[in-house]
């Protein structure tokens, strides 16, 4: 009897093909939205998790309550930082000079390789094209740009720089390995700067956050002194990497740095990225509410379709009961019809969502969303749950049909 009921339910689920198709489409749209948003959230959570793991012990310091480009840390800032109680936890320390002048070249650079906006490339004019001055030995403790040279050599003289590979790949005629270019100073005169090396700029998703030009501290101080109304002698910031296992542990070291003299503004990079996760959590709440609304709307389509079906099949159910069908068998028949439509709608929606994700990533040239096994289980649970919930009222109504009353009315 059970197998007969299943076969009967599968056959009747598509008795009205148009109604069934519209119900499936309604559910599929909701499931596709769920898959897309949930996958994007999972992808960003994964990226944030990796970023927190990589920067959990990373800290930046600059002069207290001062703009970064005007910050003046003393030349012995490394020695000062190492006086904290937890100095044995410092794995790497690199004071740096930040240079403004190179940002004016942003219009000359395009990131190739798909770009993050889905076009053939991304115009860098929307971003600051940064430059820093470093000590190669200290930069090496961070495995920085000076350790990733792929062509040419490291700077050895003043006004020599190494340049990120994506800048040359952008096809700009301004920059050529082994050649000099003119660096404008306050729009009044220029100084020649020679490109002596090219370094690996890293992944496309993060390269716009990193400096495009790297030079010696002495060169960067000279360039800034030419641009600023005063002579720059110290560093703008210092990067520190602690041997830390959690953001909370890093907060202890940050508190020690904040007690130093001269007073410092201290930023924990891992904590900043972790705070982005809190924003994502709020987005996920909104996402869940939106998904529930859309999916419930799709589920209502099944309820309406099944109620209409029950009303049209009253005589059929009466005959079934008169010939020996139990109430539970008729109820199960309606439930199975609803579950069939719900699961098919869920699978179609999963396919639509997966296809949308594929084409978005193909166009962007980046993998930034993730379909997890939890999302697959959610799809199946939504399809099953929608079918079950949507079939309850129609199933109860069909099971309560009284054969004599229906047959007498006809």
User: How confident is the model over 224-234, as pLDDT tens digits?
Assistant: 999 888 889 89
Indicate the helix (H) or strand (E) that contains 213: strand 213-216
pLDDT above 70: residue 306 = yes
297: how many CB neighbours lie within 10 A of its CB? Answer: 13
Those residues with Cβ within 8 angstroms of residue 245's Cβ, 6 or more apart along the chain or in another chain: 56
Q: Which residue has the higher pLDDT, 45 or 221?
A: 221
Mean per-residue pLDDT, 295-324: 77
Tokens of 395: 């199933």
Choose the weakest-confidence range: 3-17, 90-104, 114-128, 334-348: 114-128
Model confidence, pTM: 0.62
Contact assessment for residue 234 and residue 77, using Cβ atoms and an 8 Å cutoff: yes
- pLDDT grade for 8, boundaries at 50, 70 and 90: low
**CB neighbours of 2 closer than 8 A, spacing ≥ 6?**
none
What mean pLDDT do residues 184-203 have? 89
pLDDT tens, 368-388?
Answer: 566 778 888 888 888 888 888
How many DSSP H helices and E strands does the chain contain? 12, 12
- State residue 363's pLDDT score: 62
Tell me, what's the pLDDT at 124? 44
d(CA 110, CA 116): 12
Q: Give percent above pLDDT 70 in the chain.
A: 78
Show the tokens assigned to 211.
């400096």
The pLDDT, as a whole number, for residue 113 is: 42
Instruction: Say if CB 100 and CB 133 are below 8 A apart.
Output: no
| Main-chain dihedrals φ then ψ at residue 67, nearest 5 degrees | -60, 140
Chain segment 106-143, per-residue pLDDT in tens:
666 655 543 333 344 444 444 557 899 999 999 999 88
**For residue 9, what pLDDT is reported?**
64
The strand pair at 160-164 and 189-199 is best described as: parallel
């Amino acid at each position: 009897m059970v197998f007969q009921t299943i076969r009967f339910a599968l056959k009747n689920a598509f008795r009205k093909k148009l109604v069934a198709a519209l119900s499936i489409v309604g559910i599929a749209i909701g499931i596709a939205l769920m898959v897309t948003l949930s996958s994007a959230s999972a992808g960003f959570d994964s990226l944030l998790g990796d970023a927190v793991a990589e920067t959990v012990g990373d800290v930046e310091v600059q002069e207290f309550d001062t703009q970064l480009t005007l910050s003046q840390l003393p030349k012995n800032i490394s020695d000062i930082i190492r006086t904290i109680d937890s100095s044995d936890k410092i794995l790497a320390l690199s004071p740096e000079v930040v240079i403004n002048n190179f940002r004016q070249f942003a219009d000359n650079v395009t990131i190739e390789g798909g770009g993050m906006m889905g076009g053939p490339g991304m115009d860098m004019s929307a971003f600051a094209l940064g430059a820093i001055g470093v000590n190669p030995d200290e930069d090496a403790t961070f495995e920085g740009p000076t350790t990733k040279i792929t062509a040419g050599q490291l700077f050895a003289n003043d006004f020599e720089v190494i340049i990120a590979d994506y800048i040359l790949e952008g096809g700009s005629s301004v920059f050529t390995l082994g050649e000099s270019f003119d660096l404008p100073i306050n729009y009044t005169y220029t100084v020649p700067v020679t490109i002596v090396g090219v370094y690996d700029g890293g992944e496309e998703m993060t390269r716009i956050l990193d400096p495009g030009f790297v030079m010696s501290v002495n060169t960067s101080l000279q360039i800034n002194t030419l641009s600023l109304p005063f002579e720059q002698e110290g560093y703008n910031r210092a990067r520190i990497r602690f041997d830390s296992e959690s953001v909370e542990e890093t907060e202890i070291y940050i508190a020690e740095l904040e007690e130093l003299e001269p007073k410092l503004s201290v930023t924990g990079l891992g904590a900043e990225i972790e705070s982005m996760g809190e924003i994502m959590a709020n987005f996920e709440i909104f996402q869940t509410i939106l998904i529930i609304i859309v999916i419930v709307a799709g589920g209502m389509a099944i309820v309406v379709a099944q109620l209409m079906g029950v009303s049209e099949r009253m005589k059929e159910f009466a005959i079934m009961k008169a010939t020996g069908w139990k109430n539970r068998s008729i109820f199960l028949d309606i439930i199975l019809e609803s579950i069939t439509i719900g699961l098919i709608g869920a699978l179609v929606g999963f396919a639509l969502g997966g296809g949308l994700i594929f084409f978005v990533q193909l166009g962007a040239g980046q993998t930034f969303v993730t379909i997890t096994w939890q999302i697959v289980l959610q799809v199946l649970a939504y399809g099953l749950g929608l079918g079950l919930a949507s079939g309850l009222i129609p199933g109860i109504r069909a099971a309560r049909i009284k054969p004599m009353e229906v047959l007498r009315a006809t």
